[in-house]
Amino acid sequence: MAHHEHAAEHAHHDEKPAGIMRWLTTTNHKDIGTMYLVFSLAMFLIGGLMALVIRAELFQPGLQFVDPGFFNQMTTMHALVMVFGAVMPATVGLANWMIPMQIGAPDMALPRMNLFSFWLLFFAFMLLLSTLFLPGGAPAAGWTLYPPLVLQTGDAFPVAVFAVHLMGASSIMGSINVIVTIMNMRAPGMTLLKMPLFSWSWLITAYLLIAVMPVLAGGVTMLLTDHFFATSFFNPAGGGDPVLFQHIFWFFGHPEVYIMILPAFGIVSEIVQTFSRKPIFGYEAMVYAIASIAFLSFIVWAHHMFTVGMPLAGQMFFTLSTMLIAIPTGVKVFNWTATLWRGSISFEPPMLFAIAFLFLFTIGGFSGLMLAIAPADFQYHDTYFVVAHFHYVLVPGAVFAIMAAVYYWLPKWTGHMYDMKLANIHFWMSTIFVNVLFFPQHFLGLAGMPRRIPDYATQFSDWNMVSSIGAFGFGLSQLLFVYIILKAAKGGAKATAGVWEHPADFPAGLEWTVPSPAPYHTFETAPEVK
């Protein structure tokens, strides 16, 4: 056994059922974290395949591969799988693994609920994916589920709604766990303002989740009763209003995009300080920036709806509030830059991904700022420009940060260094192809190509072709990622406890004080933080 001495001391603790039973019954935060991460990787690949179906169809004008109805199922399912199946569970997996270890807690506060929330999520996704095989196919009204269109969904409709309910319940339980763990189980001396930024970002994310998942659940329940019980929340024939759903959805949806990016902010902060060998610049400002972004994210939702015909005052308000959000976002970017400044920088794979994040996420921030300006958004809205925007913040933003986190903590999880050379290749391929894939979409959108269409006018051919080439390149590069992880799980050079050279210890997490791989149980007696 790798951690033999430890196991001898606490033999009763390390007992775990072998094989599948271990995973079905475990309440260990590391096991559950692993399950979340593996689940997320699987969903990333499935969602990626759907994206490749989309990009294959869009490679040329004309319909070559799929029926337009199926194309709409693909865009809808791709987004739902990526948002709820890949990005969110990945950050939950990281939270499970890292929060207890960063703050010196022995486990998550509510381990059984932890396991329950994983299996709920798993079940929810089996349901959601099964809709592809139901009569009428999967939901095809876009991940935004706007009525009246979504009410034309076939048998998949109640199944998808139920799946969303389960995912929401799972997220809420996960969030309660994070909050209770952080509030109650920090090691003595680990004050809130000493906490590593990854844990901080998750604390705030958890509050966002608890606040907005019930709103989404309420919205889809109203859809359900409109469909089956003759209510008219969104049905104009009965006095309802389809736009009401959009308000409900985006009251959830905009905080949701920050739910995906705040943990990424935390990850990038930790990596930038490690590989600049200099503690994060403006630690407190970083915490306040995250908190103000979280607050502002509740008052900007209607910037997704400028074209629905809002009153003038509403358009002005949402333009201004959205622009406000750029300020704390800017503060974060400036603080990261200042952390690099007069540091001692090296470029290991986690840092490479973090640096790509700094540049490419910021590009997404710029396009976000442009979209915030209502009069200009009348042109941008629902075009490929929006597609480019949110993919820049989500792929080289959230997803790159998650990859950076994997490269940062993988040695801590497995006890092995991974193949740095391959990881570098993975980085360069991903970064080049992600730009080939998404940058031309800015041009397509500005030139007038709407989003969510399976076929297009011929003036859009060239850039679509370029974008599709980028997509296949990016997709293939990710096989390398899977290979690197599997290889490191099997073996490799032994990692030290610290793994990387860390700056003087403020505000570093306690994960670096335990051996690599981290023993099955860590911090059974609380460490003292000075």
**Catalytic residue numbers, as ranges:** 78, 107, 143, 170-171, 254, 256, 258, 269, 303-304, 329, 332, 451
Q: Report d(CA 448, CA 385) in Å as an integer.
A: 9
155 touches other proteins by CB under 8 A: no
Among 42, 113, 129, 149, binds other proteins (CB under 8 A): 149
CB crowding 68-101: b at 16 or more within 10 Å, else e? eebbbbbbbbbbbbbbbbbbbbbbbbbbbbbbbb
Residues 164-193 that bind other proteins (CB under 8 A): none
Determine, following the binding rule CB under 6 A, whether residue 380 of this chain makes contact with ligand HEM: yes
Instruction: Collapse the DSSP code of 2 into the 3-class scheme (helix H, G, I; strand E, B; otherwise coil) and give the result.
Output: coil
Q: Which is nearer to ligand HEM, 88 or 386 (CB)?
A: 386
What are the start-end ranges of the E strands in 103-213?
A: none
SS3 for 261-288 is HHHHHHHHHHHHHHHHCCCCCCHHHHHH
Query: Total residues contacting ligand HEM (rule CB under 6 A)?
Result: 25
Q: Which residue has the tokens 């400028």?
A: 306
State the Cα–Cα distance between residues 513 and 496, nearest whole angstrom.
10
| Region from 17-25, 210-218, 257-265, 428-436 binding ligand HEM, contact rule CB under 6 A | 257-265
The burial of 237, by beta-carbon neighbours within 10 Å (0-12 exposed, 13-18 middle, 19 or more buried), is given as exposed
Nearest distance from C-beta of residue 84 to ligand HEM, angstroms:
12
Would you state the structure tokens that stand for residue 41, as one six-digit string?
Answer: 């990787």
Q: Looking at beta carbons, which residue is closest to ligand HEM?
A: 368
User: What is the SS3 assignment for 14?
Assistant: helix
Q: Which of 139, 255, 396, 454 binds other proteins (CB under 8 A)?
A: 454
144 binds ligand HEM (CB under 6 A): yes
- How many residues sit in the footprint of other proteins (CB under 8 A)? 93
Per-residue binder mask for Cu ion (CB under 5 A), 248-287, x = binder:
------x---------------------------------
Residue 139 near which of other proteins, Cu ion, ligand HEM, none (CB within 5-8 Å, type-dependent): none
Letter for the amino acid at 437?
Answer: L
Cβ-based nearer residue to ligand HEM, 389 or 412: 389
Q: At 138, phi and psi to the nearest 5?
A: -75, 165
Compare residues 109 and 257 and give the one whose CB is closer to ligand HEM. 257
Contact 393, 361 (CB under 8 A): yes
Assess 382 for contact with other proteins (CB under 8 A). Answer: yes
Phi, psi of 486 (to 5 degrees): -60, -40
Q: Is there binding between residue 303 and ligand HEM (CB under 6 A)? A: yes
Does residue 260 touch ligand HEM according to CB under 6 A? yes
Interface with Cu ion by CB under 5 A: which residues? 254
